[in-house]
Amino acid sequence: MKLFDNPVGASLVFAQLFPINKSPLKGITFILIISMLCFPLTQSNAQLCKTNQYCKVEDFGKSYDFRGQSTYGKYSPGDTCKVQAILYSGNDIRIMTCSEPKLGQVQFKVFKMVKEYRRIVDRIEQKENQIPLFKTDKKGKPIPKLDDWGKPLRDNYGDIIFEIAAYKKVSTVDTVWKIERKSKELILFDSRKGSRIYNCSTTETEPIMIEMIVPKTNDPKLRTYKGCVGIMIGRIFHTTSFKSFAKSE
């Protein structure tokens, strides 16, 4: 074991070499020295997994660039993980997963969230209205109200005003509608249907989701085992303007 592989051992060594002074300020300085020496030597799981490639060389293809959005981590059997990626317009895309053999065949699916709108009933409102029943003559025609000169009265809209005999209650039912909006998964690819690699060409820039699924195991020894998994996202650039911009940098 190297000297600084164990932070506790490193602390003891430095404690012997540099005894802590009773001054509070010097004590703090000592603690900061220990922190600066130990933490840079601890690599993250993602960085460790990145250096250990489990993909087949031929799966990378000749021209795909996997450096931009690929992600790595350590997972146990039965774990799932979702990551978001951006597929840029005018690219050929290749997505795949690579994992330690002990984890089995890690599966993944690619999907995007789409909005769905539909008209649904919000509520039903029941109302009671009063409808006027007009007085009628012998021929069954409504009798108009007359002014002092014997001419029919008219309302503000110019319609004739008729004599009202009574009011009739009538119940009406009104349906109030609303628009429901919800998001749903639109599956673009699922490795459980046979293929291990997702290839596509993009015509517009859009976000996607990738869900990685580590299969469960019946082996008690492997249930708590954590192995490396890489979600590899590669692309081939076809946008001329982007290539020119990249070269100018």
- pTM for this model (two decimals): 0.57
Q: Which CATH number fits domain 44-113+185-248: 3.40.1390.30, 2.60.120.380, 3.90.470.20, 3.30.450.40?
A: 2.60.120.380
pLDDT of residue 9: 43
Integer Cα distance of 51 and 98 in angstroms:
12
If one counts every other C-beta atom within 10 angstroms of the C-beta of residue 4, the result is: 14
pLDDT of residue 62: 84
The structural domains of the chain, with segments of one domain joined by +, span 7-40, 44-113+185-248, 119-178
pLDDT of residue 5: 43
Question: Computed from CA positions of residues 67, 72, 78, 82, in that sequence, does the dihedral angle turn out positive or negative?
Answer: negative
pLDDT of residue 7: 43
Exposed/middle/buried for residue 60 (C-beta within 10 Å: 0-12, 13-18, 19+): middle
pLDDT of residue 61: 87
The pLDDT profile of the chain, 249 residues, written as one tens digit per residue, is: 444 444 444 444 434 444 444 444 344 333 333 333 333 333 566 677 776 678 888 888 888 999 889 999 999 999 999 999 999 999 999 999 999 999 999 999 999 999 999 999 999 998 888 889 999 998 899 999 998 898 999 999 999 999 999 999 988 888 999 999 998 999 999 999 989 999 999 999 999 999 999 999 999 888 889 999 999 999 998 765 444 444 444
Helix (H, G, I), strand (E, B) or coil at 101: helix
